[in-house]
């Protein structure tokens, strides 16, 4: 998820400095293409867990009462990542590596698009997070997309679609985003072949509190992008990846679960996410709806 400029640079500088000091492999490691012969299963109820979290400001808990600096253990954090680790530790040993970078988007492609539209996007998950997944990781969580929705929406507002119909332009960008998402998942599987991977799809951003005062046309754009991105994430279900649905969960749109910016969850919102992730880590296999009312909170484009 996105951050205001000043906060973003504090966190991003810390993350990149620590990562660079640990190992300078970003430009040398490429995403893998080898598929796991047998999909990993959820960790056992008492098995030690090596947990790696990928994402943006959501991963460090912006909006929560205790925000974590990237790549720190932060046992008292109240974002969903440390809360999930805390819950898992009640029955097993857990080593957490949180490599989420605030303001990050999925890929170099969307990063360049965002920067061209004037957004502060200093990193992308494929280049700056995925290569640092440790080989012994047994649990991975990924949330990518909310920042990307806003970036693409801004680009359209600034004329990136040119003379192309916005709906057609969005569909083209969504397919490209999906190809990049496939690349992320292949890379994660290659880096940590035994990891159980949970990915979260994208809420309908037009229905979140921050978009309340947007125009109908702006909301229609956010909705089309969000639903398209979620479709691409949902394709991962059944390929050794479990999808946690945010789009069709009515609780996702509860204003009481959001911080004052209307974009980032608060402690209650992050706790709800941690509880749902915990259920999956403990073996639950939720379904992914093919349609729901939350896909059309505003009239479609």
Do 85 and 130 meet the contact criterion of CB atoms below 8 Å apart?
no
Model's pTM, two decimal places?
A: 0.88
212-264 per-position pLDDT tens digit: 999 999 999 999 999 999 999 999 997 789 999 999 999 999 999 999 999 99
Average pLDDT over the chain, rounded to whole?
A: 89
Q: What is the mean pLDDT of residues 50-57?
A: 98
Confirm if 68 and 61 have CB atoms less than 8 A apart.
yes
Cβ(88)–Cβ(94) below 8 Å: yes
Q: What is the pLDDT of residue 38?
A: 63
Average pLDDT over residues 37-43: 78
Q: Collapsing DSSP states into helix, strand and coil, what is residue 187?
A: helix
Distance, CA of 238 to CA of 78 (rounded, Å) = 31
Segment 205-211 mean pLDDT: 98
| CATH of span 44-286 | 3.40.50.1110
- Report how far residue 72's alpha carbon sits from residue 199's, in angstroms, rounded to the nearest whole number: 22
Q: Give, in order, the Cα–Cα distances in Å from 268 to each of 67, 91, 92.
A: 14, 23, 24
- What does the alpha-carbon distance between residue 80 and residue 276 come to, in Å, rounded to a whole number? 10
Query: What are the tens digits of pLDDT across the range 97-150?
Result: 999 999 999 999 999 999 998 899 999 999 999 999 999 999 999 999 999 999
Q: Domain segments of the chain: what residues?
A: 44-286
pLDDT recorded at residue 73? 82
Cα–Cα dist 19/204, whole Å: 32
pLDDT given at position 29: 38
Tell me what the mean pLDDT of segment 181-192 comes to.
98
Helix axes 108-116, 146-157, angle to 10 degrees: 40
* pLDDT, position 278: 97
Q: How confident is the model at residue 79 (pLDDT cuts 50, 70, 90)?
A: very high
């Amino acid at each position: 998820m996105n951050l205001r400029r000043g906060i973003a640079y504090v966190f991003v500088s810390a993350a990149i400095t620590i990562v660079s000091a640990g190992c300078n492999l970003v430009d040398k490691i490429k995403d893998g293409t080898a598929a796991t012969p047998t999909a990993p299963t959820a960790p056992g109820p008492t098995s030690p867990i090596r947990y790696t979290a990928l994402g943006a400001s959501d991963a460090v808990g912006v909006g929560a009462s205790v925000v974590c600096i990237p790549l720190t253990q932060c046992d008292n954090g109240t974002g969903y990542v440390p809360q999930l680790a805390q819950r898992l530790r009640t029955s097993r040993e857990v080593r957490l590596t949180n490599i989420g970078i605030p303001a990050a988007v999925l890929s170099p492609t969307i990063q360049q698009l965002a920067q061209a539209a004037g957004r502060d996007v200093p990193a992308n998950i494929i280049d700056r997070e995925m290569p640092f997944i440790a080989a012994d990781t047994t649990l991975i969580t990924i949330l990518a997309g909310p920042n990307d929705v806003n970036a693409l929406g801004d680009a359209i507002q600034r004329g990136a679609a040119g003379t192309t119909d916005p709906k057609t332009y969005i569909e083209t960008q969504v397919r490209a985003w999906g190809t990049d998402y496939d690349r992320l998942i292949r890379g994660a599987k290659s880096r940590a072949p035994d990891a159980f991977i949970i990915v979260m799809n994208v809420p309908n951003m037009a229905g979140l509190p921050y978009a309340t005062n947007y125009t109908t046309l702006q909301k229609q754009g956010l909705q089309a992008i969000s639903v398209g991105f979620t479709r691409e994430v949902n394709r991962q279900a059944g390929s050794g990846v479990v999808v946690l649905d945010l789009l069709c969960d009515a609780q996702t749109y509860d204003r009481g679960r959001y911080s004052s910016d209307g974009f980032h969850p608060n402690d209650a919102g992050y706790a709800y996410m941690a509880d749902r992730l915990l259920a999956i880590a403990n073996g639950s296999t939720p379904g992914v709806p093919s349609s729901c009312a939350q896909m059309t909170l505003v009239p479609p484009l």
